[in-house]
Structure 1
Amino acid sequence: MSLAYAEVIGDPIAQSKSPAIHNFWLEKAGIDAEYRLCHVRPAELADYLAERRSDPDWRGCNVTMPHKQAVMPLLYSIDETARRIGAVNTIYPAFDRLLAGTNTDAAGFLEPLRDDLAKAHYFRMARIIGTGGAARAIITALADAGLVLVVAARDPDKARALLDELDPGGEHHVAPLDHFAQRTDFEFDDREGCLDLVVNATSLGMVGQPELALEFSHVPPGSICYDIVTAPLATPFLTEAAKRGFRTIDGLNMLIGQAAVAFERFFGVPAPREAGDVDLRRILTA
């Protein structure tokens, strides 16, 4: 008897946490299906998609590096979110099993901020550190949510080009990366009624990488500090933010949130989640 399945593709792929997430939900939901790893090299990408399209048991795949851009010309349709971000991280068979692509990273990033964004604010601002692939999704998501953005990068010209591409009508700002590493004597105004985010959208602070150099005098009172790094979860940035009394959001929030959107696309039912994803987080951090 055949078994429905979805999978994650990439090169390399062994490090992916996606099978642990999706198989946990499949078991919890009582769905007779599985989620697999599949090592696909760049030269194999077109053949992989052609083979899977003809497999009636295949429900789709998540896409990780280095394929997120390379898959785009191989798909029949790509939704507006993925087009704006410039990357596809989820592929699924649509009508007549034609392959469609989307990007769930923006929705996954915003998920732990949903209650905050539902409130009215006098002003919304996010300081985003980084201009890589994850930053593209985060910039798109936050611009659409009505935040003024300050993007810090080693190359401010790249940051400006990114903002002009992703939200050309927005009144956003750029800064050199080392700007936030230097102490400032700027006195923030009353932030009551404002929403302030500080987001690390880089690999800085990850195991084996340098720490994020951030001077907390740049962080407005009441800010939410958000780090997309997943190893370790308690990055130096988040650890220091928590010590200073800031609310923190770790990288598993975005990882689990984007997976939940893909799960429903693949298997036709919402991911069977619990408040705080306690059991799943325990598995992912074991």
Structure 2
Amino acid sequence: MIYAEVIGDPIAHSKSPIIHGFWLDALKLEGAYRTCHVTPDDLAGYFAKRTADPDWRGCNVTLPHKQAVFDHIADPGGVKGTIGAANTVFRGEDNAFLCTNTDAAGFYAPLGGVDLTGAPVVVIGAGGAARAVLFALAKLGVGPVTVLNRNVLKAAALLSSFGLKGQALPLTATLPPATLVVNASSLGMAGQPPLDLDLDPLPEDAIVYDVVYAPLETPLLAAARARKLDTIDGLDMLIGQAALAFELFFGAAPPRDEEHDLKLRDLLTA
């Protein structure tokens, strides 16, 4: 039976098997999707073993492997030179395994109706998820971008690499006024330190977007809702990027009508 996986360290928290399993069942496709715990030291061995397995259709890649994957899998689309992080490995038309990034499109999907042209944005984090977010924001033509990160120099380099104007500040800095705030870090995730932000500087029409989905109701989103700000939770991005990966793995588009999306959300939040 063909199968795909999600790899990371840690990985037990991943909801990707629920998503892909739901779509496989809905489409009545024979296949499987599961988690696989892979440490950085085991990454090369994992790919060597899996790429020799004819039933393996690929994998989603999460922390901490989104940049290290380029050392093991071909990148004909130049993802390393653009987004700088890959989250999906799949079998190409010539049977070779390739890497790509579906996070950027997954991040953009729930913002499709929002005009962010020239709007000030704040992004927390400078890792693989932040790279996808900044790539998408650059395409949207946003205004100045403030990146908050422990390593300010790394954050400043990311802004420059995507051609974005703005500033890099430490995590302890006061939040500047912004139309959109995105937590693209692991802060607030179960088992990780909390993300403590004072949202008072934000205008009443600001949007707060947290890519963390475990827990779904993060302290950041709870604080935003207490201020009656619009929010976007991590499931929106997770489901959006998963839909693109599912089609690459299994050769069929998943059902994304309102009925199926609501049932999937119910499963993920049960």
TM-score normalised by the chain length of structure 2: 0.88
1:155 aligns with 2:151: yes
Instruction: Indicate yes or no: 2:68 matched with 1:73.
Output: no
Which residue in the other structure is 1:214 paired with?
197
Structure 2 residue corresponding to 1:282, chosen from 261, 266, 269: 266
**Greater Cα offset, 85-94 or 52-61:** 52-61
Rg comparison, structure with higher value: 1
SS at match of 1:22: helix
Deviation of 1:256 after TM superposition, in Å, equals 1.2
**Quick one: which of 120, 133, 148 aligns to 1:125?**
120
Shift of 1:125: 2.2
Match of 2:112, SS state, is: helix
* Sequence identity (%): 51
Indicate how the Cα distance of structure 1 residues 74 and 236 shifts in structure 2: closer, same or farther if over 3 A, else same. closer
* 1:253 is the counterpart of 2:236: yes
Offset at residue 249 of structure 1 (A): 0.4
Tell me the distance in 2 between the aligned counterparts of 1:12 and 1:234. Answer: 20
User: Over residues 221-264 of structure 1, what are the superposed CA-to-partner deviations in whole Å (9 max), with x where a residue is unaligned?
Assistant: 31111111212222222122122221100111111111111001
Task: Calculate the aligned-residue CA RMSD, in Å.
Answer: 2.4
Contact 2:7/2:37 (CA < 8 Å) preserved in 1?
yes
**CA positional deviation for 1:152:** 1.8
Q: 1:86 aligns with which of 84, 87, 100?
A: 84
State the 1:47 CA deviation: 3.9
Amino acid of the structure 1 residue aligned with 2:84: G
Structure 1 window deviating more from structure 2 (25-34 vs 87-96): it is 87-96
CA separation of 1:226 and 1:209: change in aligned 2, threshold 3 A: same
1:284 counterpart letter in structure 2: L
Structure 1: unaligned runs, 5 residues or longer: 189-194
Match of 1:26 in 2: 24
Cα distance in 1 for residues equivalent to 2:171 and 2:34: 38
Deviation at 1:43, TM superposition (A): 4.3
The 2-side partners of 1:104 and 1:256 are apart by: 11
Q: CA deviation at 1:210?
A: 4.3
Where 1:273 maps in the other structure, the secondary structure is coil
Please name the residue that 1:273 is paired with. Answer: 256
Matched, 1:135 2:130: yes
Structure 2: where are the runs of 5+ without partners? none
Match of 1:180 among 153, 174, 177: 174
The AA in structure 2 aligned to 1:103 is N
- In 2, distance between residues paired with 1:162 and 1:232? 27
* AA of the residue aligned to 2:149: A
Mapping 1:189-200, distance limit 5 Å: 196-200=179-183
User: Cα distance 1:201–1:76, how it changes in 2: closer, same or farther (>3 A)?
Assistant: closer
Taking structure 1 as the reference length, the TM-score comes to: 0.84
Alpha-carbon distance in 2 for matches of 1:204, 1:230: 11
